């Protein structure tokens, strides 16, 4: 995350990270050593996790160890994000971005905190912003972020991007000049990140903050074009620095097994540049992301771990020239490659059947969300015979065989078993479901 939190928050996050690193079993003594605290503090932190998050974590604690064998890795990551989201300083920054120029009393009332606690949080937030070259203007009747307008918008967009499962945004309709338009459509994570830039730009424009100072009336269209244009410019500048390493990158991707068309070279290098720019500009200040590359490759990626370890030296040889967080950058690169390209030794993608006990329209909504989170796989809605909201066994079985189905994702438990694996999710498709489906897909692939 990109602002500084209390030590108690970092201790909780470290416990979750240690569970991931140690196959969900870690001694209390080792936690105390890693968190540089007493074992009594460790027990207090674990009790907090048990009280607030044990319905997701399923923690089992003894006198010597902490175990969480019955939860998914996705759940652990979801809890990690929610701990940050629920912190008062996170909520305060979101409010300052969305409704600036308000008094300390306004924010304290909205957050249900005392005036003094809110002022202390604002001072903490100011220190975090200063590390990013920004400032927080604090007066009793007026609070706002100040600094270079591009830097403010970029910082805010990264902030929202980091909480993409918790913060909802809307996408305005903007027409771009031809040289920019391609980056807003088919450049994967660049295109997705531009959605956040657009959202923040709309907020800032409506608050009378403009990218270009002019005496003439400003338009939202021109303002957002100016912001996105400058973002693409800094990405291309970073890309220029990466050009000497292009052949090494491509040979490393080939070692991992990715089949990348020659025509996509410019796209991939631009994506790498965007990941690296975000890391050097933002995450070198405060980096508390849990998902390091080893965990990603081991649990989520289609890359064979042995192949990754063979290729890791090639990656680090390049990226350590740019950042100390090169493992996080590698994880981001592999995540994008996984979404875009097949792999030479990869079995075919999964065909998964979706069924909702609510309605066909609900199943369509569920399918759309699944396609966002799991773009490498195909999802098909069962719409055959149903009795008492339960699919007819023979028809569902025939439907699955026709599609060469690898698994079923359903909102209802069935009173029978089929030859294909099955997972039940909630009607609301919450973050915990995402984690469980991650694990389900990876177990099914293996």
The residues spanned by each domain of the chain are 7-70, 88-233, 235-340, 351-445
Give the DSSP H or E segment for 83: helix 73-85
- Nearest CA-CA partner of 90 in 245, 376, 286: 286
User: What is the per-residue pLDDT for 294?
Assistant: 65
Given a contact cutoff of 8 angstroms between Cβ atoms, the answer to whether 379 and 391 are in contact is: no
Each of the 446 residues of the chain gets a pLDDT tens digit; together they read 788 899 999 999 999 888 877 777 889 999 999 999 999 999 999 999 999 998 888 888 877 888 876 666 667 878 888 999 999 999 999 999 999 999 999 999 999 999 999 999 999 999 999 999 999 999 878 999 999 999 999 999 999 998 887 888 888 888 888 888 888 876 677 888 999 999 999 999 999 999 988 777 889 999 999 999 999 999 999 999 999 999 999 999 998 888 888 888 988 999 999 999 998 888 776 655 555 566 667 666 778 778 888 888 899 989 999 988 888 888 888 888 887 887 776 555 789 999 988 888 888 888 888 887 777 788 999 988 887 788 988 899 999 988 888 899 998 888 888 888 999 888 766 656 776 787 788 777 65
User: What is the per-residue pLDDT for 293?
Assistant: 63
Helices (H), 7-72: 7-21, 28-35, 39-57
| First CA to last CA distance, the chain | 32
378-381: strand order across its sheet: 378-381, 351-355, 407-410, 422-424
Given a contact cutoff of 8 angstroms between Cβ atoms, the answer to whether 196 and 169 are in contact is: yes
User: What is the per-residue pLDDT for 133?
Assistant: 92
User: What is the per-residue pLDDT for 345?
Assistant: 65
| CB atoms closer than 10 angstroms to residue 301 | 20
Given a contact cutoff of 8 angstroms between Cβ atoms, the answer to whether 363 and 305 are in contact is: no
- Superfamily covering domain 351-445: Response regulator (3.40.50.2300)
Using a 10 angstrom Cβ sphere, with 0-12 exposed, 13-18 middle and 19 or more buried, the burial of residue 198 is: buried
CA distance 192 to 202: 16
User: What is the per-residue pLDDT for 34?
Assistant: 92
pTM to 2 decimal places: 0.78
Given a contact cutoff of 8 angstroms between Cβ atoms, the answer to whether 349 and 403 are in contact is: no
CA distance 433 to 202: 32
DSSP helix/strand/coil, 145: strand
Given a contact cutoff of 8 angstroms between Cβ atoms, the answer to whether 48 and 63 are in contact is: no
281: its two tokens: 């500009």
Quick one: fold of 7-70?
Arc Repressor Mutant, subunit A (1.10.10)
> 333-372 as b/e, with b when 16 or more CB fall inside 10 Å?
bbbbbbebbebeebeebbbbbbbbbeeeeebeebbeebee
Given a contact cutoff of 8 angstroms between Cβ atoms, the answer to whether 303 and 22 are in contact is: no
Helices (H), 341-430: 360-373, 393-402
| CB atoms closer than 10 angstroms to residue 251 | 11
Residues in the chain: 446
CA distance 113 to 110: 8
CA distance 128 to 136: 9
412: its two tokens: 């209802």
Bridge-based pairing state of the strands 25-27 and 60-61: unpaired
User: What is the per-residue pLDDT for 430?
Assistant: 62
66: its two tokens: 């902490």
The yes or no reply on domain 88-233 and CATH 1.10.10.10 is: yes
Given a contact cutoff of 8 angstroms between Cβ atoms, the answer to whether 190 and 271 are in contact is: yes
7-70 against 351-445: fold identical? no
Residue 440 gets which letter from DSSP?
Answer: H
DSSP one-letter string for 248-261 = HHHHHHHHHTB---
């Amino acid at each position: 995350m990109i602002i500084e939190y209390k030590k108690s928050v970092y201790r909780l996050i470290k416990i979750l990270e240690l569970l991931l690193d140690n196959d969900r079993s870690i001694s209390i003594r080792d936690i105390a050593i890693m968190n540089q605290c007493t074992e009594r503090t460790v027990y207090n932190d674990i009790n907090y996790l048990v009280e607030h998050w044990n319905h997701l974590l399923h923690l089992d604690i003894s006198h010597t160890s902490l175990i969480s064998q019955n939860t998914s890795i996705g759940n652990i990551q979801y809890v990690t994000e929610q701990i940050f989201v629920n912190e008062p300083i996170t909520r305060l920054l979101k409010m300052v971005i969305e409704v600036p120029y308000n008094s300390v009393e306004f924010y304290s009332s909205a957050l249900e905190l005392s005036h003094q606690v809110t002022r202390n949080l604002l001072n903490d937030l100011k220190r975090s912003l200063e590390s990013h070259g920004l400032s927080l203007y604090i007066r009793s009747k007026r609070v706002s972020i100040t600094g270079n307008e591009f830097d403010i918008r970029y910082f805010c967009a990264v902030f929202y991007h980091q909480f993409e499962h918790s913060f909802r945004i809307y996408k305005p309709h903007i027409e771009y000049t031809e040289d920019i338009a391609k980056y807003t459509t088919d450049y994967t994570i660049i295109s997705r990140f531009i959605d956040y830039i657009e959202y923040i730009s709309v907020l800032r424009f409506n608050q009378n903050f403009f990218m270009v100072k002019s005496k003439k009336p400003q338009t939202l269209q021109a303002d957002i074009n100016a912001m996105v244009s400058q973002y693409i410019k800094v990405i291309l500048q970073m890309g220029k620095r990466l050009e000497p390493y292009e052949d090494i990158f491509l040979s490393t991707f080939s070692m991992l097994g990715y089949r990348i068309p020659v025509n996509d070279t410019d796209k991939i290098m631009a994506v790498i540049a965007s990941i690296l720019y975000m890391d050097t500009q933002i995450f070198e200040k405060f980096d508390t992301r849990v998902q390091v590359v080893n965990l990603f490759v081991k649990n989520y990626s289609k890359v064979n771990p042995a192949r990754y370890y063979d290729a890791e030296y090639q990656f680090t040889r390049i990226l350590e020239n740019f950042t100390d967080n090169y493992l996080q950058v590698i994880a981001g690169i592999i995540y994008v490659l996984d979404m875009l390209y097949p792999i030479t030794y990869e079995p075919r993608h999964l065909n998964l059947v979706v069924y909702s006990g609510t309605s066909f329209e609900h199943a369509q909504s569920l399918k759309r969300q699944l396609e966002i989170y799991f773009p490498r796989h195909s999802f098909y809605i069962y719409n055959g015979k149903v009795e008492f909201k339960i699919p007819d066994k023979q028809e569902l079985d025939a439907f699955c065989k026709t599609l060469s189905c690898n698994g079923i994702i359903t909102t209802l438990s069935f009173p029978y078993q089929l030859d294909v694996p099955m997972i039940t999710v909630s009607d609301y498709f919450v973050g915990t479901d995402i984690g469980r489906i991650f694990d389900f897909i990876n177990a099914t692939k293996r």
